[in-house]
Amino acid sequence: MAQKKTVLVLASTYPRWANDHEPGFIHELCKRLSAQFNIIALVPDAIDADPNGMLDGVYVVRYHYAPKKLQSLVNNGGIINNLKTFWWKWLLVPSFLIGQYLAVKKILSTQKIDIIHAHWLIPQGWIASRFYKQFNIPYVVTSHGGDLFGLQGRALTKIKKKVAKEATAMTVVSQAMKDYLEQISIQPKILEVIPMGVDLRHRFTPNPNIQRRENELLFVGRLVPKKGLNFLLDALSLLVREHPELRLNIVGFGPEESKLKQQVMQLNLEKHVNFLGALSQDKLPELYHQATLFVAPFVRADNGDQEGLPVALMEAIGCGCPAVVGHVAGIEDLLGDDVQHIAVNPHNTQELASAILKALDEPVLAIERAMRIRHNAIEHIDWDSVANAYARILAKSMESSTKV
């Protein structure tokens, strides 16, 4: 029996412990890939994070980049938003990069690694590119959206081009991202569109035994500008004038939280908005099953950051929850022809409010639409097919590198 190949996964966003509320999509992928490969995930350490060790079949190595209590560059909003919100976190950037660089070098010098899978072009992809010639090791880079759309400027674009060009293969999570790469003349050797997955067969499934509540809106996601929650609050202030029974549950955390709570007070929406904080994945299906409508008013933030293919929307659709969303690039991959019915421009408060109102007034049609989207998306975003696609491109990259 052939020995498993070893994949070194580089990531910034990663669970700090089992059932952490931080986004876990990269760990979910690693967990599924561990059936075919030995997976080592090299990720930043964090306040109260578990020590190095096995997590769901993945060996997790956490590198230090500051005193334990200061290791907060990644969590509660992501690197880009943390840098925007907290000026002092810029002081962590040099040690964050150096710490990751030295940790990768140590692993490559002491263990047999067959390939690197770097999530995000910058910084993980850039670091992988620094080692591929020195250690003769191929790497695959995956862009999730924020790194491609949000990190702008001539110098950063030059780095992205170099990382993509030297990679054995590159993946992006939506067709719109592939189109954007062509627009800015980034040309990888191999480029595939593979989304992050959602467990549509066991966790995020419809539940006919739970009756949907009336007049209950749900938002799930990081409290950062690209999620557009401030636009939803503006729309809600219009809706409650005619529908005073309307409620909005907000699940999430992030640097915009205090600003959003202040907006709720300014709009006199305290009786209509409930901040539930961060919840673990196992708590979400019940909320998706109970909500009348999932509202995700995605926008392109001022710094260019925007969604690649939103995980929370995929989860809601998986549970058969009707949705209204912001029309950002790439959303068509999931919504198909129904995009015209549920995707709006959140900057237009009246348009967003009208779309919500229409979905509330036509609940049967809204549910039928959600189930149709789920049916069409299941082969596209279910973890089984997604993990198999990533496994194929990793295996193909290792095979092609041995022929060079």
Question: The domain spanning residue 88 has which CATH number?
Answer: 3.40.50.2000
CA distance 55 to 21: 15
- For 241-296, the pLDDT digits (tens) are 989 999 999 998 888 899 999 999 999 999 999 999 888 888 899 999 999 999 98
Instruction: Summarize the confidence of residues 344-365 as an average pLDDT.
Output: 90
Instruction: Summarize the confidence of residues 314-334 as an average pLDDT.
Output: 84
Asked whether the predicted pLDDT for residue 400 surpasses 80, the reply is no
In a domain, 202, yes or no: no
In a domain, 356, yes or no: yes
192 and 276 assigned to the same domain: no
20 and 162 assigned to the same domain: yes
CA distance 228 to 340: 19
62 and 152 assigned to the same domain: yes
CA distance 328 to 356: 17
128 and 233 assigned to the same domain: no
| Nearest partner of 257 among 222, 302, 299, judged by Cα | 222
182 and 330 assigned to the same domain: no
145 and 278 assigned to the same domain: no
Classify burial at 41, counting beta carbons within 10 Å of its beta carbon; exposed 0-12, middle 13-18, buried 19 or more: buried
CB neighbour burial string for 132-167, b if at least 16 within 10 angstroms, e if fewer = beeeebbbbbbbbbbbbbbbeeeeeeebbbebbebb
In a domain, 209, yes or no: no
In a domain, 330, yes or no: yes
In a domain, 206, yes or no: no
- For 39-82, the pLDDT digits (tens) are 999 999 999 899 999 999 999 999 999 998 999 888 776 777 77
User: Is the overall model pTM greater than 0.85, yes or no?
Assistant: no
- Per-residue confidence at 332, pLDDT binned at 50, 70, 90? confident
24 and 163 assigned to the same domain: yes
In a domain, 108, yes or no: yes
| Nearest partner of 269 among 246, 294, 302, judged by Cα | 246
Instruction: Say how many domains are in the chain.
Output: 2
171 and 230 assigned to the same domain: no
- Per-residue confidence at 96, pLDDT binned at 50, 70, 90? very high
In a domain, 210, yes or no: no
In a domain, 68, yes or no: yes
- Per-residue confidence at 402, pLDDT binned at 50, 70, 90? low
388 and 323 assigned to the same domain: no
Give the domain range for residue 312.
216-381
114 and 158 assigned to the same domain: yes
245 and 342 assigned to the same domain: yes
**Which of the two residues, 22 and 119, has the higher pLDDT score?**
119
244 and 354 assigned to the same domain: yes
